[in-house]
Amino acid sequence: MAHIAIFLMPERGHVLPALGMIAELVRRGHRVSCPVTAPFAAAVTECGADAIPCESTLPAELPESLYEAAQLALVEAESALPQLEHVFQQDPPDIVLWDIAAWAGGVIARRSGAPNLLLESLLTSNGNWSLGAAVVPARGFDLNAIRFFTKVQEFVGCSLPEFVAGARRRIALFPREFQPEGESFDERWTFAGSCLTERKFQGTWTPPADKPVVLATIDAQTCADAARGMPWHLVTKGDVENPAPNVEAYEDVPQLAVLQHASVFITHGGLAGVTEALHHGVPMIVVPRMSDQKLNGQRVEELGLGVVLDTVTEEGVRSLVGQLASDSAISARVKDMQRMIHRAGGSALAADAVEEELAR
């Protein structure tokens, strides 16, 4: 079978959404090599892939601006390329999949001549709708921006649009229905929906027997204080002082296990978490921090899948949890989207797209 190299930005919202696809490719008999930093090695090896060690330059938290995040992505790619290029020269892949923020993978594919596919873990772009135009303010003459994109061109070997267009196909790890202007994307885009798999590396979780569950992965202390005395059980990520009996706090929440039982999800609105919530039929309170998260939150509200909150407050959390848990219209729309995601094809469809390109 084939040797498949998969390059992902070493960040939760980019690695975790691809795990189901990786596991499915391994299940079909392919050998998958995935460069990852140490915190993600267990996730990749649990799927049966080979984890290729790689050091990262990324900070613990990405900046709010997508343009600033792109600058960090270039530094990351410049660091990753010399660590990895010789590995794949000695063990050439038959095909390369690279995350939209993992440019080193695209460069390795381009230099080796291997066919390559682009993995979309952010909303994607075509001639009708552009993520960049939606989240990055229009710039006039900006010498710093010119210098940055010149550096990008020098690194990737061509203009950035040409570099991205070199991918033979794109696999979006979210549903077409969530993508703005989704109906305008042609057969070059495969909208797989959610590509989930079991995550034993995050541990297990047992729901309470007598209370609805709320999952919060942001502002742990505020959400924990809001939960005190409320008729629901909060599972949150982060440190909490003096938690109430109906609050569980984790360093790393077993998110999929909790979402199976959750009534509401409080999130920054990264596309990975949004897709996981919709896969499980859970409405959301979105409190965006990054510019792409603001766009995702806007999309959640437009589609009637939850609400956007500018700032987390105890009063706001209590009010909106109660509102979402009892809103039958939002619940119906979330269930509709859940059915669309389940029909999309998930990991099997993503693996089919890879195998179709291998057979070309």
Question: pLDDT tens digits for 60-82?
Answer: 999 999 889 999 999 999 999 99
* Mean pLDDT, residues 270-287 taken together: 98
Q: For residue 148, what are its two tokens?
A: 């940055």
* 306: nearest Cα among 353, 340, 274: 274
Same domain membership, residue 213 and residue 175: no
Name the strands in the sheet holding 284-286, side by side, starting at the edge strand that comes first in the sequence.
247-250, 233-237, 213-216, 262-267, 284-286, 306-308
User: What's the pLDDT tens digit per position in 286-329?
Assistant: 999 999 999 999 999 999 999 999 999 999 999 999 999 899 99
Same domain membership, residue 106 and residue 14: yes
Residue 243 is given by DSSP the state: -
Angle at 352 between CA 340 and CA 300, to 5 degrees: 30
Whole-number pLDDT of residue 255: 96
Task: Report whether 200 contacts 180 (CB < 8 A).
Answer: no
Q: What is the percent of the chain with per-residue pLDDT over 70, rounded to a whole number?
A: 99
Beta bridge partners of 284: 265, 306
Instruction: Give the C-alpha separation, 326 to 347, whole Å.
Output: 32
Same domain membership, residue 145 and residue 23: yes
Task: Report whether 84 contacts 53 (CB < 8 A).
Answer: no
Same domain membership, residue 250 and residue 350: no
| Three-state DSSP state, 221 | helix
Chain-centroid distance of CA 283 in Å reads 18
* 308: nearest Cα among 284, 275, 286: 286
Task: Report whether 220 contacts 239 (CB < 8 A).
Answer: yes
| Three-state DSSP state, 87 | helix
Task: Report whether 34 contacts 9 (CB < 8 A).
Answer: no
Residue range of the domain that includes 174: 3-193+345-358
| Three-state DSSP state, 132 | helix
User: What's the pLDDT tens digit per position in 175-219?
Assistant: 999 999 999 999 999 999 999 999 999 988 999 988 999 999 999
Q: For residue 185, what are its two tokens?
A: 């994307």
* Mean pLDDT, residues 97-117 taken together: 96
Same domain membership, residue 330 and residue 350: no
The mean predicted confidence, pLDDT, of the chain is 95
Task: Report whether 325 contacts 264 (CB < 8 A).
Answer: yes
Same domain membership, residue 51 and residue 184: yes
**Which segment of 32-36, 106-110, 129-133, 260-264 scores lowest on mean pLDDT?**
129-133
Same domain membership, residue 151 and residue 209: no
Calculate the alpha carbon distances from 313 to 120, 180, 253, 266 in Å.
33, 30, 21, 12
Same domain membership, residue 128 and residue 238: no
The total domain count for the chain is 2
Task: Report whether 79 contacts 55 (CB < 8 A).
Answer: yes
**Strand (E) positions, the chain?**
3-7, 31-36, 50-53, 95-99, 116-120, 169-172, 189-191, 213-216, 233-237, 247-250, 262-267, 284-286, 306-308
User: What's the pLDDT tens digit per position in 136-178?
Assistant: 766 666 888 889 999 999 999 999 889 998 899 999 999 999 9
Pairing of strands 247-250, 95-99: unpaired
CATH of the domain at 8: 3.40.50.2000
Instruction: Give the C-alpha separation, 120 to 117, whole Å.
Output: 10
Whole-number pLDDT of residue 145: 86
pTM comes to 0.96
Same domain membership, residue 150 and residue 70: yes
Whole-number pLDDT of residue 135: 81
Same domain membership, residue 189 and residue 327: no
Instruction: Give the C-alpha separation, 2 to 32, whole Å.
Output: 8
Chain-centroid distance of CA 204 in Å reads 22
Same domain membership, residue 353 and residue 335: no
Q: Is 67 exposed, middle or buried (0-12, 13-18, 19+ CB in 10 A)?
A: middle
3-class DSSP string for 140-208: CCCHHHHHHHHHHHHHHCCCHHHHHHCCCEEEECCCHHHCCCHHHCCCCEEECCCCCCCCHHHCCCCCC
Same domain membership, residue 160 and residue 41: yes
